[in-house]
Structure 1
């Protein structure tokens, strides 16, 4: 697949699919170069089409699309109750 500009949501979805396919490309390979270019194009598209007005809310937004179950084991149960975590 050739690299092309991202003009709409269809192009955006295709680029995200390509990112997923190239994610584990070895550093320095042509695939990793392609991954870097696609990531730049995606970041530009997201900045233009899906701006985040309040940067303080960025952690809340990024946590909102993640699965409810985290693979990370919490060693201190008190932290799981919200002590020290950002409330969104």
Structure 2
């Protein structure tokens, strides 16, 4: 993979209003996230599009991570809070459903 691969997992999760990447969470928990292939395909597509347009995803991830303001998810319309950041993907799915 490339240097910005894991950062792109983080960016994708943030853009979708998730507290973290379900795939990376699964890796850390030594579990397999059922839809990991979908997330990987999305990450690789974002990386290819960013490269084609000269966007440095690592710099973008750092800039987003250092913002002090709250971030509203474009998908869910929810604000990402400390509680969201501590929730597991399973909790987020149950809340959304």
Compute the TM-score of the two structures, normalised by the length of structure 2.
0.31
- Give the structure with the larger helix fraction: 2
Compute the TM-score of the two structures, normalised by the length of structure 1.
0.33
Q: Which has the larger radius of gyration?
A: 1
